[in-house]
């Protein structure tokens, strides 16, 4: 796969591998730990990120449709509460942007996803469309570096599960939300609109979001960086592999 460019032109495999290694090395150098949090720079393709359009008009239209649907389902308040809570937790921050300046930032449309559990209570979360592509520009996901496939294939994992001496299971609470963006330049590419009753609120994310192609890559290398600070015992070796 890595010998083929997206347009079908065959390239030298070593050149492709060098590009991957350079992006990985550059990202690893950007990892910083301060104030009990990890901060990173997003790994962008420099030749593509400048061609991602603002998309603010699309984001506004999607928001209008979303809120109309939520109001019919009487779920508008629950959906808005998600962002109120995220603002309280400093996951997102409110930004004052005049309408004439909307075009200066990249806006991401979002929609709700509902989950009904056995207790018949409703859980709602927001999903952002980083794959939105308009005109001749790139989407955010096309403009980021997603890394090579870091996960073992499922048959191999199943075999290891029944043959290895140890099995390590874990769930990091809100893993993506624990990693923060370092630069305003990155944050300015994750703007979005929210309607709270009749008020149009402008937010931007300060952390990784679901739906962004590079998020798994970033999380993986932050975990690798984290465990490298500990003794090379069995647990550390399992996390690294």
Provide the Cα torsion 133, 137, 141, 147; round to 10°.
150
Give the model's pLDDT for residue 121.
60
Give the model's pLDDT for residue 182.
94
- Pick from 84, 108, 63: nearest CA to 210: 108
Q: What is the pLDDT of residues 104-147, one digit of tens each?
A: 999 999 999 988 776 646 688 899 999 999 988 899 999 999 87
- 168 touches 194 (CB < 8 A): no
In the predicted model, residues of the chain with pLDDT beneath 70 are 1-16, 118-122, 148-153
Give the model's pLDDT for residue 83.
95
Question: pTM for the whole thing?
Answer: 0.81
Give the model's pLDDT for residue 9.
41
| Cα torsion angle, 197, 203, 206, 207, sign | positive
Give the model's pLDDT for residue 119.
62
Residues 6+ apart with CB under 8 A from 25: none
Give the model's pLDDT for residue 10.
41
Residue 143: how many CA atoms within 13 Å on its side-chain side? 20
């Amino acid at each position: 796969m890595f010998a083929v460019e997206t347009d079908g032109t065959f390239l030298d495999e070593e050149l492709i591998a060098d590009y991957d290694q350079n992006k990985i090395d550059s990202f690893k150098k950007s990892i910083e730990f301060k104030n009990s949090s990890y901060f990173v720079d997003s790994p962008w393709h420099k030749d593509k990120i400048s061609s991602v359009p603002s998309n603010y008009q699309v984001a506004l239209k999607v928001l209008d449709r979303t809120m109309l649907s939520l109001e019919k389902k009487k779920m508008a308040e629950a959906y808005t509460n998600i962002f109120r809570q995220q603002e309280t937790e400093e996951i997102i921050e409110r930004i004052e942007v005049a309408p004439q300046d909307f075009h200066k930032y990249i806006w991401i449309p979002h929609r709700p996803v509902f989950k009904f559990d056995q207790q018949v209570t409703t859980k709602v979360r927001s999903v952002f469309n980083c794959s939105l592509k308009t005109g001749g520009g790139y989407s955010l996901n096309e403009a980021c570096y997603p890394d090579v496939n870091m996960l073992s294939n499922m048959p191999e994992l199943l075999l290891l599960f029944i043959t290895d001496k140890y099995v390590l299971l874990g769930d990091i609470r809100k893993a993506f939300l624990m990693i923060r963006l370092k630069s305003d330049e990155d944050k300015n590419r994750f703007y979005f609109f929210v309607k709270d009753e009749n008020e149009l609120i402008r937010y931007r994310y300060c952390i990784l979001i679901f739906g962004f192609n590079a998020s798994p890559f970033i999380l993986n290398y932050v975990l690798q960086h984290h465990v490298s600070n500990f003794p090379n015992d069995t647990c550390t070796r399992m996390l690294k592999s």
